[in-house]
Structure 1
Amino acid sequence: MALRIFDTDPDAKPKEKPKSTFTRPVYQLRTGMQIPDPKNPKKMKGISLPNWRMVTDDEQIAEGFAELFGGRADEFDPTKNQPWQVLSETNTLEVVINGSRAIEDKLVQWGGPGGPMHECDGVNSLLPEDKGAPCGCPTTMKERKDRASKNRGPKPSIGVEFTLAGAGEDLGKGKLIATAWTLAERIWQVKDALDAVDGPALCTLEIKHVEYVSEVHGPVSYYHPEITVHGSYNDAIAEER
Structure 2
Amino acid sequence: MAQVHGREELVGQITADEGRTGRRAGLWSWLLTTESREVAECVSELYQGEAVGAAPGGDLHVRKLHSRGIAVIVASAADVRHRLALEKEGGLVHACDGSRFLPPMLDEGKPCGCPDDPFERKAAARSGAGPRPDARLVFCLAAAPELGELSFQSSAWQLYESLESLSHKVERTGGPAQMELVLREQRLATRSGLDVSFSYPEVHTVRRLSVAQAGLHLAA
TM > 0.5 between the two?
yes
Contact 1:202 1:236 in 2 (8 A): no
Contact 2:52 2:62 in 1 (8 A): yes
SS across alignment from 2:159: helix
Q: Note the C-alpha offset of 1:183.
A: 2.1
Aligned to 1:24: 9
TM-score of the two chains, using structure 2 as the length reference: 0.74
Aligned to 2:137: 160
Deviations 1:198-231 (A, max 9, x none): 7422322111112244779974531221222252
- In 2, distance between residues paired with 1:189 and 1:195? 10
Go from structure 1 to structure 2 and tell me whether the alpha carbon gap of 1:228 and 1:33 turns closer, same or farther (over 3 Å shift).
closer
Q: 2:40 aligns with which of 46, 62, 66?
A: 62
- In 1, distance between residues paired with 2:28 and 2:156? 14
Aligned to 1:46: none
Q: 2:113 aligns with which of 115, 131, 136?
A: 136
Deviations 1:9-64 (A, max 9, x none): xxxxxxxxxxx971232211111379xxxxxxxxxxxxxx9312112233332232
Q: Note the C-alpha offset of 1:129.
A: 6.1
Aligned to 2:160: 184
- In 2, distance between residues paired with 1:233 and 1:51? 27
Aligned to 1:42: none
Task: Trace 1:92-131 onto structure 2 (pairs within 5 A).
Answer: 92-113=69-90, 115-126=91-102, 128=104, 130-131=106-107
- In 2, distance between residues paired with 1:73 and 1:215? 37
Bigger radius of gyration, 1 or 2? 1
Contact 2:163 2:202 in 1 (8 A): no
Task: Trace 1:75-86 onto structure 2 (pairs within 5 A).
Answer: 75-79=53-57, 83-86=60-63
Instruction: State the structure with bigger RCO (CA 8 A, min sep 6), 1 or 2.
Output: 2
- In 2, distance between residues paired with 1:210 and 1:229? 20
SS across alignment from 2:15: strand
- In 1, distance between residues paired with 2:97 and 2:165? 16
Contact 1:29 1:55 in 2 (8 A): yes
Contact 2:183 2:201 in 1 (8 A): yes
Go from structure 1 to structure 2 and tell me whether the alpha carbon gap of 1:59 and 1:75 turns closer, same or farther (over 3 Å shift).
farther
Q: Note the C-alpha offset of 1:128.
A: 4.4
Aligned to 1:202: 178
Aligned to 1:5: none
Deviations 1:117-140 (A, max 9, x none): 433332334464633254333232
AA aligned to 2:12 is Y
Contact 2:188 2:196 in 1 (8 A): yes
SS across alignment from 1:185: helix
Aligned to 1:38: none
Go from structure 1 to structure 2 and tell me whether the alpha carbon gap of 1:150 and 1:216 turns closer, same or farther (over 3 Å shift).
farther
- In 2, distance between residues paired with 1:94 and 1:129? 33
Deviations 1:147-182 (A, max 9, x none): 21223321100011111113x212111111121112
Q: 2:31 aligns with which of 49, 53, 72?
A: 53
